[in-house]
Structures are given as C-alpha cells and as structure tokens.
Amino acid sequence: MSYRSIKLIKYPTQEFTPDVFDITTQAIPTPKEGEFLAKLSHLSLDPAMRGWMSPDTESYIPPVTLGDVMRASGIGEVVESKNENFPVGTRVMGLMGLTEYAISSGQGINPIPKELPAEAILSVVALPGVTAYQGLFEVLKPEAGQTIAITAAAGSVGSLVGQMAKNLGLTVVGVAGSQEKCQWLTEELGFDQALNYKDADFAEQLKSVTPNGIDLFFENTGGAAQAPIFERMNAHGRIAVCGLIADYQTDSPAPGPSWLNIIKKRLTIQGFTMPDHIHRFPEYAQALGGMLAKGKLKYRSHVIKGLESATTGLDLLFEGKNTGKLIVEL
C-alpha cells in the first residue's frame, strides 16, 4: 500500500512555478505509540503558502524545509490510531500538508464534526473564516454606519469580511479583479458596491461610490487598489493588513504610500497573521459556524481534483483566476 505526497524541492525565486514541487510515492507508514494515521479527503490552497515557500527566516512562521511535504491545511479521517484522543473514524482538520496520508501526534490537529460539507469547513470555519473574523473584529473594530473597503473581496477571506460587515450595518465596498466577481459580490453577497481595480478609472469610481470617504480598509492584495483606497481614508481610519498577494511574487515589492496621510488622518495600520491567534480559533469557529447555520454567510468554493492538481492549482490563486475558496478534493 502506497500513497503520494507533494514535496517542496526548491524555493521559487520570484514567480511561483510548479517545478518547485516533486510528487513522491511511498509506503503508508504505521503510527507509533501516541500517533495516528489520517487519510486526507480535502486540501486547502491558500495565499499564505507562497510565504511558506520563501527562505525568509524573519517571517511569522519558518519556511518549509526543502525536501519536506509542502505545508497546507486539510481535512481527513483517522484510519489507524495509537492515540486515544483520535480514535479511528475521527474527522480531523489541521496542517497535515499536501499529501494523501499523514502521520500525526495530534499536535495542532483538531477533531471536527462530520455533518458539515468539507467545502463549508474549509471555506468558512477554517483559516479564511478565522482570518476574516480576527481582522474585522479585533483589528478594524467596526461600527454600524461606517464604510469599509475590502480588496480581494471575492476571495475566501474578503467575501466573509464583507458579509459580516454588511450584517453589522456597514456600507461595504468590495474590490475585485473581474466583472464576474464584482457581480457575485453585489448580486449574491449583498455588497453595496463592487469595483474592478483593473478599470482605468478605478480611482474615480471609488471616489464616486464613497461620498463619505472610507473608515475601514481590509487589505488583502496591495497593488493598484491600495493607493486610491488609502487616499480616501477618513480621519481616525483603521487599516488591517492581511495580505499583499500582488507583491508575493516579486523580489522588489512596490513601495507603500507616503506616510503623510497617516499623520493628517491619524490612521492606524495594523498587520496580523493567524498563528498569533490560534488560541482564539475555537471561539471564532463557533461564531462562524453559527452565522453559517443561520444562512448569514455564503461562500463558493473552487474545487480541483486529485493531489497532482495542487501543484498547478496554486497558480490560480496568484493570478486571481480562482473563483472561491480553492480546494483540492482527493
């Protein structure tokens, strides 16, 4: 009995290319005392994975060691166990990597209920949801009546931020990279406005749909949308810096805006990453599960199939070609 894994064999120098990965086949191992063996059913492909492939020891978690299975979160089922906390049949979620099977001691792995579809879990209750929750509630501290701008608004995180903000009574302006995404935001998710940052007159459009300026900015992308949004910030505005996907693929990231506006408007800009807040995941997941059950959070997932699809699937993220949470079904 054998299984396949995707290993990182070199760090991408600039643009991600699938040849940084190698698919290896090996015998399925037997768990030792305290361990269990999980068979993965779904893998999550996330923008953060680009950072984990950078040999940058200063980042918030260490990069993946060359030769190791590529780090990724996923869902699986325990099929063999010498760990009483994870009996055979337990459904589990965690950073088990791009692999069909994984051995684990259980550290960082959580049992999850069997009822919810895997797509709902990976799209809402897992990393995208807790990220959206942390950034919106803990960093931006929204108040009804405020205007929020969200980049990568049709992405897995942005779409949840916008819906939660709308539920709180904010005016929600989403920024995305295609007409189709913008339509989904306004027609399906109830965003007040959705703009395509690729439009030549994006800055003018933004100005016209934010007559009262922008109070909160949930930043997922960097790139062309950043400066126009930054210019529209109101006094005492708050900015959560969650992602800069436009800059992940380059050795010389674009400069940020002048800090003059930070003084004039007394802005607060705060970066965050979720490993700092793992202790709050259960609380956030419960809140997100509740909103999902009440039909207050819609999501869409972009499912690709087979382990090998993960190697090329990551490119969809960096090119903005995925439509919804990118998931590999095994």
Residues that bind its own copies (CB under 8 A): 51, 56, 58-60, 219, 222, 226, 235, 241-244, 247, 253-273, 276
Q: How far is the CB of 220 from its own copies (least distance, A)?
A: 10
CA proximity to 71, closest of 8, 113, 121, 17? 8
202 or 272, CB closer to its own copies?
272
Cα 191 from Cα 170, distance rounded (Å): 10
CA atoms within 13 A on the CB side of 241: 14
Residue 214, classed as helix, strand or coil, is strand
Structure-block tokens of residue 175: 């920024």
Q: Give the other-Cβ count within 10 Å of 246's Cβ.
A: 21
Q: How far apart are CA 123 and CA 88, in angstroms?
A: 25
Q: Which is nearer to its own copies, 73 or 151 (CB)?
A: 151
b/e code 106-124 from CB counts within 10 Å (16+ = b): beebeebeeebebbbbbbb
Whole-angstrom distance, CA of residue 284 vs CA of residue 146 = 23
> Would you say 111 or 271 has its CB closer to its own copies?
271
> Minimum distance between the CB of residue 147 and its own copies, rounded to whole angstroms?
16
Distance CA 225, CA 240 (A): 15
> Nearer Cβ to its own copies, position 34 or 257?
257
DSSP at 184: I
Nearer to its own copies, 153 or 189 (CB): 153
Of residues 12 and 106, the one with the C-beta less far from its own copies: 12
Shorter beta-carbon distance to its own copies: residue 26 or 59 = 59
State the minimum distance, in angstroms, from the CB of residue 140 to its own copies: 13
Q: What is the spatial distance between Cα 160 and Cα 250, in angstroms, rounded to a whole number?
A: 27
Burial of 301 from C-beta contacts in 10 A (0-12 / 13-18 / 19+): buried
CB 281 → its own copies: shortest distance, Å? 17
Left, alpha or beta for 61 (phi > 0: left; psi -120 to 50: alpha)? beta
Nearer to its own copies, 204 or 259 (CB): 259
For residue 45, the minimal CB distance to its own copies (Å) is 19
CB of 256 to its own copies, least distance (A): 4
What minimum distance in Å lies between the beta carbon of 293 and its own copies? 32
User: Dihedral, CA atoms, 143, 149, 154, 160, nearest 10 degrees?
Assistant: -10
| Minimum CB distance to its own copies smaller for 84 or for 251 | 251
**Shortest Å distance, C-beta 161 to its own copies:** 16
Tell me how far apart the alpha carbons of residues 330 and 325 are, in angstroms, rounded to a whole number: 16
Q: How far is the CB of 164 from its own copies (least distance, A)?
A: 21
State the distance between the two ends of the chain, measured CA to CA, in whole angstroms.
17
Q: For residue 194, with 0-12 CB atoms within 10 Å meaning exposed, 13-18 middle and 19 or more buried, which class applies?
A: buried
